[in-house]
Amino acid sequence: MIRDAISISYAVILAFVLGVWSAVWATADLPFYSELQVNGWRAHPSVGGDNPDPYSTAFLARSGRFQLAAAEGLQFISREDSDGEALDGACIYRISGNTPLTRLWTLQVVRDGVPIDSAALGIPVSTHSQALVRDRDGFFGIVISPTPRPGNWIYPGPNGPFRLILTLYDTAIASSRGLSEIVMPTVERVDCDSG
Amino acid sequence: MTFLGLTGAALVHLAIVLMLPRLSENDVWRQIETETAPYRALRLDSQSDRLAMAKSLDPMFAEFVCRYDLAEGMFTITNDTNADFWSVAIFDDHGRIVFASNDRISPSRRIRLGVAMPSQIRAIQQDPRDELRGSIVAESRRSEGFAIVRLFRPDPSWEQVVRNFIAQTQCAPVPV
């Protein structure tokens, strides 16, 4: 009798603890299975569509955020450089190449999930497609460095991990995919201040 | 018993994930419902310290929201000024996208958008209104919802353009 009670309560506790923990874990971020990966950049095109999956919906409800609709644009996040190392404020990176065809895009440095406030710092922590100096062929290079650089320069904030968010506005790739290969700029580490 | 526990865990997991949108006290609709009056535009991008939904917004954009209730009639949002780039998304009270577009949707690049229930759409098709001429009408099956407009604002020198745009935007119900 007591043995039965113990094993039933074991099953109930296991179900409850594991169920709650796994649900909290699974809704802490957008789900990995709907992720689109291009050159180290990750996006979730289905979130902006008509029928986002239950995990994306749960994430949005829990975080209290709203999504960018597919007709508005698509957001890409990069946490790593081209070698797979996490982005760090102490290092110098070069973002080069081009974006998919889009009317407008913005690039920001994000720390702890929140974009850094450019107005408070008074130095560039973000850029957009209409503010860049470009090459003759339309390609661009942006240097992310703790110290000012000539050309397109972004300050990543103090030492420590950061993310880059590249948001494409009015882009065909958000609503239709697979017709042509998606091109995203490469994030390459140039140097690291190990001290 | 471990098998029973794991099966139970899977059920608990599914129940929580599926019910979160309904149970969340902090989803976008509840934030908007408590913070805004219907048909009154509220600027979001300066509210990031107060509203969870404003935290992850693109700092190079200005966003504002208008809440509506189709029980009072069809919802219209109109604006006759120009902006460099705008996009609009209509959400229902479950946070689902009802309709979204950007300024390329109309040749004039002005916002002229209506949201209506299926029965209201039938009514305006039978009896076209002057004030809806040139409007794009989106269909929503849920009565309550909100529109979010994004405006390109790369730096503070654009503030005047953005303020003017928001001041010129009209969110209103049109009784059908």
Tens digits of residue pLDDT in B108-132:
888 999 999 999 999 988 988 888 8
DSSP B87-124: EEEEEETTS-EEEEEEGGGSTT--EEEEEE-HHHHHHH
Q: What is the rounded CA–CA span in Å between residue A57 and residue A61?
A: 6
Distances (CA, A) of A165 to A28, A80, B48, B80: 18, 12, 18, 32
The CATH code of domain A31-192 reads: 2.60.120.600
Cα torsion angle, B97, B102, B106, B108, sign: positive
10-residue averages of pLDDT along chain B (176 residues): 90 93 88 91 82 84 94 92 90 92 86 93 88 88 94 89 93 91
Return the pLDDT at A178: 57
Residues of A in contact with B60 (CB under 8 A): 106, 108, 126, 128
| Residue-level pLDDT at B145 | 95
Residue B51 lies in a domain: yes
The answer to whether position B15 is within a domain reads no
Q: Does B97 touch chain A (CB under 8 A)?
A: yes
CATH, residue B154: 2.60.40.1610
Q: Is B145 exposed, middle or buried (0-12, 13-18, 19+ CB in 10 A)?
A: buried
Is B9 close to A16, i.e. CB distance below 8 A? yes
In the structure, what pLDDT confidence band is assigned to residue A119 with cuts at 50, 70 and 90? Answer: low
Domain ranges of chain A: 1-29, 31-192
| Beta-strand pair A126-128/A41-43 | unpaired
**What percentage of chain A carries pLDDT values higher than 90?**
44
Is B75 an 8 Å CB contact of chain A?
no
Which of B16, B22, B51, B149 should one mutate to test binding to chain A, selecting the residue with the greatest count of A CBs within 10 A? B16
- The two beta strands, A36-38 and A41-43, are antiparallel
> For the residues A67-85, what does the mean pLDDT come to?
91
Closest residue to B53, CB basis, from A18, A20, A64: A64
Q: Is residue B30 part of a domain?
A: yes
Could you read off the pLDDT of A154-186 as tens digits, one per residue?
Answer: 998 888 899 999 999 998 776 665 556 788 999
What number is the ipTM of this complex?
0.87
Whole-angstrom Cα distance, residue A68 to residue A94?
27
| Cβ separation A10–B53 shorter than 8 A | no
